[in-house]
Structures are given as structure tokens and as C-alpha cells.
Amino acid sequence: MRIYILSIIFLSLFSCKKETQVSKNPIQKDSTTITESTPKDSLKTQSSKPGIFNFQTELCQNKAYFDENKYTKEELEGTYKLYFQLGSVILSTPQVFKLETLQQVRMDRDQILEKLEKDFNEKKKLIENLKIVNTPYWQNVKKETYQSLLHEYEIRKTEVMAFSDPSVLLNKKYSKNCERFIKALNSNDNEMVKEWRKLREEMSKKNSDPQRIRNEFESRLNSPDKKDYAILDLIVFGWGNCANEEISGPLHDEKMEKEFNSLFIKIDSDCDEP
């Protein structure tokens, strides 16, 4: 009897151990399945989705391929505008190199300023609403382009007003390094002519025909309109050139070209010969 009971206990323990071992196998199988499926999903997420962006440069028609998981076509279009269409001089006013143009600008001052303000507001809104790729480099280019527009507007507006009233230059922050011209434009005739002569001499040294610049000065100095000639030169070639140096927009150089091209997986270009 005692041997019989011990046999039953031994068989029960062996049966439990066997069941425990069997129950582990499905868990291991499920664990393997999950582990194997994770890399497959990860690879699917990381794979690039190619899009096509067509753009034009000076001599080339370009077909570019980009990763739609990184950028949208709208962002690339905005970045393209920022690079190719919003560089250098953005606003325009009449170029004053002749006495007749100076007199015309004085007559049409209000209309010129109105057009300038309209153009400025349009460009300002365009830059503000421009959607570009979200990288530090291009976000900084957008910021610098915006600041450059603000500076350029102030300088163009001030210049147009100064042709009629040079005193507007006295308290302009963009004129801090141009004091010699501002002082001359708001001095008596003798001081104005003295600075005008000095400016013309500086211009002659940078010109391929220096004597022509000197002769032109002497001719205008003896003209009944010598004061207007002096104002024209001192504003355009003196204060204007000096103030334009204050406009510091982003550099459109090789680095910008590389940054733009790096947005694409590949670029196919069809170019005309220069």
C-alpha cells in the first residue's frame, strides 16, 4: 500500500513538470514573431518616398528628386523663391544720374513714395508667408532677407525724400557712417561745394577716365544749377553709396548653392551652352 501511494505521487509530479514545459513553447514562439516583425515595420517607416520638383536656373531646366518624408513641394517652392527670386535688390526707385531726372523725382515724389510703399508691403507679406524647409540654415536666410528688405525700404524712401529736403537725413539711423555727406548737404554753399569737390576727386581715382570726371565737375560747378548738381552727387554717390553698405542680406554664394542642392536625392539638368 505504501509503495502504491508513492508511485501515484511520483507520477503526478512528472505530469506537472511536463505540462509546465509544454506551456512555455507557445510564449517563446510568440516572442520570436514579435521580434522578427519589428525590423520589418522599422524599415518600412524609414524608406524614402520620392517626389519630383522642377525648377529653372539661369541656363538649366532641372528635374530634382526629393524625399517627401522630409519636405513638401510647397516648402521647396518657397525655398527656391528665397534663393533665386528674393536676392540682392528687391525694391526699385528711379535712378537719378541726370538733372532732368532729379527734377522729375521732385515733382513725382508722392506718387513714387506711394508705389514704393505698396511694393514694400507686397514683398514683406510674401516673405512673412513664405513656407520654406525647416532647417536652421534656410530659416536664417529667410530672417536675413526680411531684415534686408526693411533696411532697403528705409534707404530708398529716405533718398527720394532727401532729393527735395536733405534735412531728412539728419536723424536717420541708417546714416550713422555717412555724416560727412549729411553735414555737407545741410551746410552753406561753400561747405557743400568743398565736400562735393572732394567726392568727385575720390570718384575720379576709381574711374578708368579720371579726367572726364574732373572736367564734368568743373563744368557743373560753373552751371546756374550747380547746387542741384551738388545735391545730386552728394546724395547718390555720397550718402547713397554709403547707406547701401548698411544693407547686409544673406550671401548668395557657393555655400547657398550647396545647401539648396543638398535638399534633393538627385538632380537631372538640361542646360544650354553659355
In the chain, where the domains are located: 50-247+259-265
Residue 30's pLDDT is what?
A: 41
Q: So what's the pLDDT on residue 49?
A: 73
Q: Which residues contact 247 (CB under 8 A, 6 or more apart)?
A: 148, 151, 152, 155
DSSP at 87: S
| Closest to 181 measured CA to CA, from 233, 217, 229, 225 | 233
What's the pLDDT at 89? 65
How much is the pLDDT for 88? 67
CB-CB contact of 105 with 96 (8 Å): yes
Residue with cell 526699385: 92
Residue 108: what pLDDT? 98
Coil, helix or strand at residue 240: helix
C-alpha cell, 86: 528674393
Do residues 231 and 101 make contact, with C-beta atoms less than 8 angstroms apart?
no
Taking the C-alpha atoms of residue 175 and residue 155, their distance in angstroms, rounded to an integer, is 9
Ranges of the chain whose pLDDT falls below 70: 1-48, 88-89, 174-175, 274
Provide the grid cell at 165: 529736403
Distance (Å, rounded) from C-alpha 52 to C-alpha 55? Answer: 10
Contact residues for 191 (Cβ-Cβ < 8 A; gap 6+): 183, 184
Q: Which of helix, strand or coil describes residue 27?
A: helix
AA letter at 258 = K
Phi, psi (deg, nearest 5) at residue 72: -105, 160
- pTM for the structure as a whole: 0.77
Residue 15's pLDDT is 44
What CA–CA distance (Å, rounded) separates 218 from 213?
Answer: 9
